Amino acid sequence: MKIIMLGAPGAGKGTQAKMIADKYHVPHISTGDIFRANIKNGTELGMEAKKYMDQGLLVPDELTVKILLDRVGQDDCKEGYVLDGFPRTIPQAEVLDKALANLGESIDYAIDVDVPDENIVERMSGRRACVSCGATYHLKHVPPKKEGICDKCGNELLLRDDDKPDTVLNRLKVYHDQTQPLIQFYGNKGVLKTVDGTQAMEDVFRSIIAILEN
Ligand code: AP5
Ligand code: MG
């Protein structure tokens, strides 16, 4: 099962992708998480990606595509995967398509988690992420048991650098300009499914399962 999560920044792609990956035992692959891990480890790739991420801009396709193709070529991806945050541009989608076609494969579902811009800033400013394991919380919707501490690994929770309101507005603009056209791209391929992302998390997940198990 090969799934792509589409949706604006903060729509809940990561939240749902983790739940899908757990339920169906496939890897959750987030290019944003890969970049953040590289930033944390001070790698060259991380330093380069940070320049763009801090401004709410996309990391150039040349850097992003290679990382993603390497990752989906690994053994644990043989039975499928959930891609979260990739593709984000039409050229990225085309490269992925070609790489899959060479293997006689294709994407099964592109799930668009639909949330209007008005809801996004509130979601992002309340998000807290674990610096160590990447678990995500929300001060109002999914609070950790102990303030500022990850329930799963006990490490510190932080506001992501790119979740400050000005950067969020930039990310939304970039989303509308460069990523939203993918909705039509996957619609034309007949694999697009849309879920209402303004529902409670469990209800969004139920809608997704209904699509996958239909
Ligand atoms: P990335 O990490 O992918 O960020 P994003 O797409 O901006 O999306 P987010 O992770 O912010 O949101 P999400 O949809 O995962 O929402 P979440 O589940 O956390 O990318 C970051 C940056 O990396 C990019 O800006 C770019 O620079 C670079 N990058 C990454 N991939 C790239 C690529 N392919 N090409 C080029 N550059 C790339 O939920 C948000 C919050 O809401 C959480 O607090 C959560 O608890 C809460 N929440 C979730 N669902 C609900 C619900 N149903 N109700 C209430 N609250 C909810
Ligand atoms: Mg995410």
- DSSP state, residue 59: P
Mean pLDDT of 74-83: 96
> What is the model's pLDDT at position 59?
97
Tokens linked to 163: 């979740």
In a domain, 155, yes or no: no
Work out which ligand 1 atom sits closest to the CA atom of 201: 53
Handedness of CA 105, 112, 135, 22 (dihedral sign): negative
pLDDT tens for each residue of 134-171: 899 999 999 999 999 999 999 999 998 899 888 999 99
**CATH number of the domain enclosing 92:** 3.40.50.300
Longest dimension (CA), the chain: 49
Mean pLDDT of 187-203: 97
Sheet of strand 109-114: strand arrangement: 28-30, 81-84, 2-6, 109-114, 192-196
Count structural domains, the chain: 1
In a domain, 145, yes or no: no
In a domain, 144, yes or no: no
pTM (predicted TM-score): 0.94
In a domain, 8, yes or no: yes
Ligand 1 site residues (CB inside 6 A) read 7, 9-15, 30-32, 35, 52-53, 56-59, 64, 85-86, 88, 92, 123, 126-127, 136-138, 141-142, 162, 171, 200-201, 204
Per the structure, the complete domain to which residue 108 belongs is given by 2-116+173-212
In a domain, 126, yes or no: no
Question: CA dist 64 to 28, 96, 173, Å?
Answer: 16, 11, 20
* Residues belonging to the active site: 13, 88, 127, 160, 171
Q: Are 128 and 159 in contact (CB under 8 A)?
A: yes
For atom 29 of ligand 1, which residue has the closest CA?
Answer: 32
Ligand nearest to the CA of 35: 1
In the chain, % helix, strand, coil (3-state, to 5) comes to 50, 15, 35
pLDDT at 210 > cutoff 90: yes
